[in-house]
Structure 1
Amino acid sequence: MTAILTLGHGGYDQLVASEVPMPEIGPGEVLVKVLAAGVNNTEINTRLGWYSAAVQGATNDIAADPSAGGQADGGWNAQTAFPLIQGTDCCGRVVQVASDVDTRLLDNRVLIRPCSRDGGFESLANSWMGSDFNGAFAQYVKVKASEVFPIRCAWTDAELGTIPCAYGTAENMLHRANVQAGETVLIAGASGGVGSAAVQLAKRRGARVIAIAGEAKHARVAEIGADLLFGRSADLIAALGEQTVDVVVDNVGGAGFPTLLKLLKRGGRLVSSGAISGPIVALDMRDMYLKDLTLIGTTAWDEPVFPAIVRYIEQGEIQPLLAKSFALTAIAQAQQEFLEKKHVGKFVLIP
C-alpha cells in the first residue's frame, strides 16, 4: 500500500511517499481502509521534535527553522520510533476483522478513536494513533476493534475525517472542566481545529461563548456559535473586565496566558491540551491560589467522550468544518498551508 513515512525529526523532506507492506491484524484488531485523514498540529509538532523539553518556541518558529527542534525526546511520549506512519484522524471502512472480533463490524463506515487508554479508563496511561503507533496517512490502518465506532450520517468521508482528534480533544476538555449551561467560556484560538470544535461543543452545552480569532475569521466563527468575538491583539481586560469568565479553553499558551488567568472568576477553571504559541508561560501564583483556580491538563480522553461525539453527529447537533481537501501525497503542501493559519476548521488528506 501507499503510505507517507515520516523518517525522522526535521523539515518537509522527512515526509516520503512509500510503498509499504499491508498491515497484518492480530487478535482483537481490525483493518480499516482509510477514506479520509485529518491534518493536525500534533503531527507537525512530532515531526519537528517540538515536544522536547529543550524547545521553548511556538510551532511556527520551529517550522521556519527545523534545526531548532529535532531533539531525541521530541516525540509525543518522549522518543518517537521512526520511521513512522503518522495520521491521528481517520474516517474509514472496516475491511477485515480478526477471528475474535464481531464480524458485524465488516463494511461499516467508521471513525477511529485515536487515543487508547492502555490500562483501562481507571488509568491515565494512553497511546495515540499516528504518534505511538502507525496511523492513517496511508491507504490502510490497523487498530484495536475497541477503538472503531460505526457512524451513520449524511456527512461525506472528508467531513468525517475532520472529527476525531479535534472534536475528541475539545469535548474532553469541556468534559474535564465540567462546563455547564449558562457559564461563560472563553476559547483562545477559536478558528483552529480544536478551537472551532470547542466553540460548537460549548454552545451545544448551553454556554455563552467568547472567542478569540483573527478578525478575518470572525464571521465564520460567529456562524458556529460564538456570542462575542475578539481579535488576537484585543485588550481583553479592558473589554471584559477581570473575573468575568467561568472557564478558559486555551490551546494557545504563549504571552497571552497571564491575561487569561486575570479573566477567570473565583473558582474558575483553565483547561488546556496544547500550546501552539509557546509552551513556556508566565504564571503569577497569586492569580491561581488567591482566586481558587483550577488548572486542568488533558491528553488522555475519558470514556464518554468519543461515543458522545458520534452521537452528536448522528443527531445533527454539530456541523462539519472542512476547510480543504488534499491528496495524501500532497501532505507537505497541506502542512505548509496549515501553518499559515488562514483557514477555519480542518484540512484532510484523501488516499
Structure 2
Amino acid sequence: MSAIPPGEGANLPATMKAVVTIGNGGYDKLVYRDVEMPLPRTGEVLVRVLAAGINNTEINTRLGWYSASVTESTADVAGIAIEAARPDGGWNAKTPFPLIQGTDCCGIVIACGPTANTGLIGRRVLVRPCMRPHGFGSPENIWMASDFDGAFAQFVRVPEKEVFAVECGWSDAELATIPCAYGTAENMLHRAGLRAGQHVLVTGASGGVGSATLQLAKRRGAYVTAVTTPAKADQLRAIGADRILDRDADLVAQAGESMDLVVDNVAGPAFGSVLRTLKRGGRYVSSGAIAGPVVTLDMRDFYLRDLTLIGCTAWDEPVFPNLVTYIERGEIRPLLAGTFPLAEIARAQSVFLEKKHVGNFVLIPPPVGG
C-alpha cells in the first residue's frame, strides 16, 4: 500500500491531466487528456509536479531523431512530415509509446510506496532523470520521459533514490530549468576534468545546456569563450562569458588552436572547425548534435594532435548531488526564458524551436482538481 499523508495526499483523484505522446510525428502526437493516476510501488514516491522544463530531447524523441536513419539537424527534422514510426527513434532504441514525456521535474513528494522514506513527504524536490539501474559502475542507463513516464503531467511516479530535496528561494519554474540541462552540462565538465585556469569553448552557448555549461565552467574558475549570435552576446556576457565568438564566422580564425576543452552539443557542418580550435592534447566532449549527427572528421586532426573525444549520456554519481549543493549555496542561477500552461505544450515547443531565447522554457500543470 501507499503511505498517503493527511490533506492533499488523502484526496488523490482517480485520474490526472497529462500530455501523452502517442507516437512519432508532429504536434498532433501530443494529446492533452485525463489518464489514470500513477500509484507508488515498492521503493517509489509519488511527486505532484509543480513545474516541468522543456528540452530538445522531448522533441527529438517525438520526432524519432535518434534513429540511425536520420541525418538532418533537429530543426530540419522538425519540419519534415513523418509518415512512419521509427523503431530505433528513442534513446534506448524503441520509444515505449504512448508515453508521458517531461525530463525536468520540480515537485512535492505526496505519497510513498512500501519501503520508501516517508520523511520525504511534503518536501520540494528535483528528480534526477538519468538513472543507473545497475549502479554507477555500469554505463547502462534509463531516462525518465524516454524509457518511462515523465513530468508532463500533474503527478509522476519515480524511485525514491532519484528525488533530491532542495532548500532555496527559487521559484518552482526556476528549479524546473535545472535537471536535464544542468545535469548534462555538469556531467560533461566532470567527466572532461575541467580545472581552474583552463580555456573552454562552448558552442550553442545560449541554449539550455550551453548556458548551463557556461555558468558551471565559470564556477570552476575556467576562462569561457562562448559561441553564439551577436544578438545574444550581451546576455551571455552577463552570466560570465569572457569572450564571444560569432557562430557564423570562421571559428579557427577567431580562436586559433587555443582551447583546453571544447563542449559541443551542436556538431553538424562546423564540427571540423570546432575540433581545430583545440590545442595539442585538448579534449572534446559532447552529449548532443542539434546541427546534425553526421559529421566529417579529419583523423589527422584527431591523432596527430593527441586529442581526446569524450561522449556523455550516463551521468556520473556526483553530478546531481553537486547541482543541489550549487543551488543551495547560490553558486549558479536559473535562466528561465518563460512559462506556458501544460495544455499549451505545442505552442511552447514551437517557440522553443525558434531558438530566440536564452535558457529554458517551463510548463506549468493545472492545479489538482483543475
TM-score range, shorter chain: over 0.9
Taking the aligned partners of 2:167 and 2:69, their CA distance within structure 1 comes to: 44
- Counterpart pick for 1:155 among 170, 176, 201: 170
**Aligned position for 1:114:** 129
**Aligned position for 1:80:** 95
Taking the aligned partners of 2:213 and 2:254, their CA distance within structure 1 comes to: 22
* 1:68-98 alpha-carbon deviations (Å, 9 max, x no partner): 7842211111111110000000000000012
What is the TM-score normalised by the length of structure 1?
0.99
**Aligned position for 1:340:** 354
Taking the aligned partners of 1:239 and 1:74, their CA distance within structure 2 comes to: 37
Task: Indicate yes or no: 2:269 matched with 1:260.
Answer: no
SS where residue 203 of structure 1 aligns? helix
What is the TM-score normalised by the length of structure 2?
0.94
Taking the aligned partners of 1:99 and 1:237, their CA distance within structure 2 comes to: 57
- Counterpart pick for 2:44 among 29, 42, 49: 29
- Counterpart pick for 1:217 among 219, 232, 238: 232
**Aligned position for 1:2:** 17
Taking the aligned partners of 1:80 and 1:235, their CA distance within structure 2 comes to: 38
**Aligned position for 2:201:** 186
CA contact (8 A) 1:62 1:69 kept: no
Taking the aligned partners of 2:126 and 2:39, their CA distance within structure 1 comes to: 20
- Counterpart pick for 2:319 among 296, 302, 305: 305
Task: Indicate yes or no: 2:154 matched with 1:139.
Answer: yes
Which ranges of 4 or more aligned residues in structure 1 deviate by more than 3 Å?
none
CA contact (8 A) 1:50 1:70 kept: no
Taking the aligned partners of 1:337 and 1:224, their CA distance within structure 2 comes to: 23
Q: Which amino acid aligns with 2:211?
A: S
- Counterpart pick for 2:210 among 195, 204, 212: 195
Q: Which amino acid aligns with 1:188?
A: T
* 1:313-342 alpha-carbon deviations (Å, 9 max, x no partner): 000000110000000000000000000000
- Counterpart pick for 2:186 among 159, 167, 171: 171
Task: Indicate yes or no: 2:344 matched with 1:330.
Answer: yes
SS where residue 175 of structure 1 aligns? helix
5+ long unaligned stretches in structure 2: 1-15, 366-370
Taking the aligned partners of 1:70 and 1:172, their CA distance within structure 2 comes to: 31
Taking the aligned partners of 1:188 and 1:208, their CA distance within structure 2 comes to: 14
Taking the aligned partners of 1:66 and 1:270, their CA distance within structure 2 comes to: 34
CA contact (8 A) 2:201 2:225 kept: yes
Taking the aligned partners of 2:84 and 2:231, their CA distance within structure 1 comes to: 31
* 1:289-326 alpha-carbon deviations (Å, 9 max, x no partner): 11111100000000000000000000000011000000
* 1:211-262 alpha-carbon deviations (Å, 9 max, x no partner): 0011111111111110000121121211221x21000000001011001111
5+ long unaligned stretches in structure 1: none
SS where residue 180 of structure 2 aligns? helix
CA RMSD, 1 decimal: 0.9
SS where residue 334 of structure 2 aligns? coil
Task: Indicate yes or no: 2:82 matched with 1:67.
Answer: yes
How far did 1:99 drift? 2.6
Over the matched positions of the two proteins, sequence identity in percent amounts to 63
Q: Which amino acid aligns with 2:219?
A: R
CA contact (8 A) 1:55 1:69 kept: no
- Counterpart pick for 1:41 among 42, 53, 56: 56
Taking the aligned partners of 2:29 and 2:83, their CA distance within structure 1 comes to: 15
SS where residue 44 of structure 1 aligns? helix
* 1:108-132 alpha-carbon deviations (Å, 9 max, x no partner): 0000000000100000100000000
Taking the aligned partners of 1:52 and 1:301, their CA distance within structure 2 comes to: 22
**Aligned position for 1:283:** 297
Distance 1:68 1:238, change over 3 A: farther
Task: Indicate yes or no: 2:65 matched with 1:50.
Answer: yes
CA contact (8 A) 1:74 1:80 kept: yes
Q: Which amino acid aligns with 2:337?
A: A
Task: Indicate yes or no: 2:264 matched with 1:250.
Answer: yes
Taking the aligned partners of 1:300 and 1:269, their CA distance within structure 2 comes to: 18
How far did 1:66 drift? 3.3
Taking the aligned partners of 2:237 and 2:48, their CA distance within structure 1 comes to: 35
Q: Which amino acid aligns with 1:107?
A: G
How far did 1:275 drift? 0.2
Deviates more, 1:61-70 or 1:151-160: 61-70
Task: Indicate yes or no: 2:245 matched with 1:230.
Answer: yes
How far did 1:16 drift? 0.3
Q: Which amino acid aligns with 2:42?
A: P
Deviates more, 1:230-239 or 1:73-82: 230-239
CA contact (8 A) 1:325 1:350 kept: yes
SS where residue 268 of structure 1 aligns? strand
SS where residue 36 of structure 2 aligns? coil
